[in-house]
Amino acid sequence: MAHVPPQRLWPFVLAITGCNLFAGLGEERIVVDRRGAGEWTAAPECDPASDVVWLRTLGDFGWDEPGQIVPDGTGGYFLQGRFDGSVDLGSGPITTAGGLDFYLAHLDADGQARWTKRYGTAGPDEIGPWISAHPDGFVICGTNKTQLDFGGGPHTANGIDAYVALMSRQGELIWERWLEGPAEERCWGGTAVDPTTGDVYAGVLFKGEVTVDGQSYVGEAAGDAMVLRLDGADGSVEAARHWGDVGQDHINRLAALSDGTVVVTGYTEGSVDFGSGTLPGGPGSDAFLVRFRPDLTPVWGHVFASTGPAQGVGLAVSKDGDLVWTAKVDGMVDLGTGPVMGLADSGAVARVSADTGLATDVAFLSGYNGPVWLAETSDGSLLLAGSYLYDISVGGTSKVSGGGGNSQADPVLVKLSPDLQTVDWVQFAAESKKWESFGGVALAEEDTVIVVGHFYEQLDIEGCSLRTSVGESDTMLMKRKL
């Protein structure tokens, strides 16, 4: 899953993990380059004195973009991405049926694919699904407007349908649930897994009416947000809750707490009722946070009314059991620490009490419009990966975006102190006239971090040789020191 241009919002994710990713590659600083669907080859093109341990690029003639990475609990990870042409992640080349398709892959600790599976048709397919780790494998939640077959037989979309499926560690289907209706259903909020039962929470958008597991729900035509709780054994619906007003309500991310409750974030346009009374909003879109019990009755809920557009975009459970949250805020807003002013095209990161849903620490990053991927280190420091627009100012470090006034974005990775007030370092990357981003981050072994993303034209990582893309958009994987 990947960051998005300002005019189109996809769901965002935060990942907190200590799993050993890409282990066993040694400490030689290398760049691995692949042309077409050939094999990885290595060349020593990163300075051994730099913070970059190794850098990989992957591209074909069309569009290549990695999505979400999820640790598998044994040192490897599951990866989702989309591509146009052919890709080879190590288990052999796969080729699109036509246009953009997506893949699911299981990679070992060295970053080589144990298996890779392609999904899509010759038509215009949607982006790949969101992934969550599960005791039996991994959960996917996505959107389809053509035809998909995960192993249980082909499903042809009725317009635009959403799906939730549990896959085994070998990529075989265990169960699937489809959300169908006469208009539009999308899984933009991803999933979360109840650690006490293995049941699955999913966050979706539907317009007008939706049917899932034989039950129909009616909402607003503009779009209702919906949370489902599905039985982890067979995918049957255990509970459902949806809300909406005259505008669109959108879930961007979910996170399950250790007691089986789930926290949800996104945005609302208008007033909202999570189940305990109506909460008023501001004049435009407003960020929200809500915590639900397993039966989807609310524990608490907040709408953070702002003088400008705002939305919650990322969410995860921190090591101490509270929450970490990222948001896009433009205007005056009170997230729990008092009124603060968010600037246009800026992001915010907050530590939030799981008991109250209110922020205890907040940091605003000027020009950082997409601080949406996050990992927490062993000492509580936070890594934020995403993109920035125009000039960015972080901890006294300033950088001019390569977008050149074209409202496009460049990748950036920032390490913040546990209290969010000090910037330890900033990692900038490719600069071109098109949108680029770091699209995922996860901790690896020996105080290192893995970053995935995509780039156009050139990839410029400090300490490494300049890389030129093969196609319209190429994939990059980087391992760097903390």
Mean pLDDT rounded to a whole number for the chain: 82
Closest C-alpha among 387, 369, 474 to residue 429 = 387
Centroid of chain to Cα 241: 23
Can you tell me the mean pLDDT for 329-348? 80
Q: 108: domain range?
A: 1-114+377-464
Question: How much is the pLDDT for 235?
Answer: 97
DSSP state of 333: E
pLDDT at 234: 97
Domain assignment of residue 343, yes or no: no
What are 205-216's pLDDT values in tens digits? Answer: 999 999 999 999
**What's the pLDDT at 185?**
93
Let me know if residue 366 belongs to a domain: no
- The amino acid that residue 443 corresponds to is L
CA angle 301, 304, 308 (to 5 degrees): 155
Residue 255 lies in a domain: no
Count of structural domains within the chain: 1
User: Is residue 169 predicted with pLDDT exceeding 60?
Assistant: yes
Residue 164: inside a domain: no
pLDDT of the residue at 28:
37
Cβ neighbors of 227 (< 8 A, separation 6 or more) are 189, 201, 202, 203, 240, 241, 242, 251, 254, 262, 264, 292, 296
In a domain, 315, yes or no: no
* Residue 102 pLDDT exceeds 70: yes
pLDDT at residue 463, as a whole number = 86
How does pLDDT run across 409-447, given as a tens digit for each residue?
778 888 888 988 888 888 877 666 666 777 777 677 778
318 or 387, higher pLDDT:
318
- Gap between the Cα atoms of 25 and 30, Å rounded: 10
d(CA 157, CA 150): 14
Distance between CA atoms of residues 253 and 13, nearest Å: 6
Containing H/E element for 155?
strand 155-156
- Mark residue 24 as left, alpha or beta (left: phi above 0; alpha: psi -120 to 50; beta: remaining): left
| pLDDT at residue 16 tops 60 | no
Q: What is the DSSP letter of 460?
A: -
Arithmetic mean of pLDDT, 259-286: 92
Task: List Cβ neighbours of 353 (8 Å cut-off, separation of 6 or more).
Answer: 322, 323, 336, 359, 360
Top pLDDT among 22 and 140 is at: 140
pLDDT band for 321, please (50, 70, 90 cuts).
Answer: very high
Is 61 within the bounds of a domain? yes
Lowest-confidence range among 248-262, 361-375, 392-406?
A: 392-406
Q: Is 441 within a domain?
A: yes
62 part of a folded domain: yes
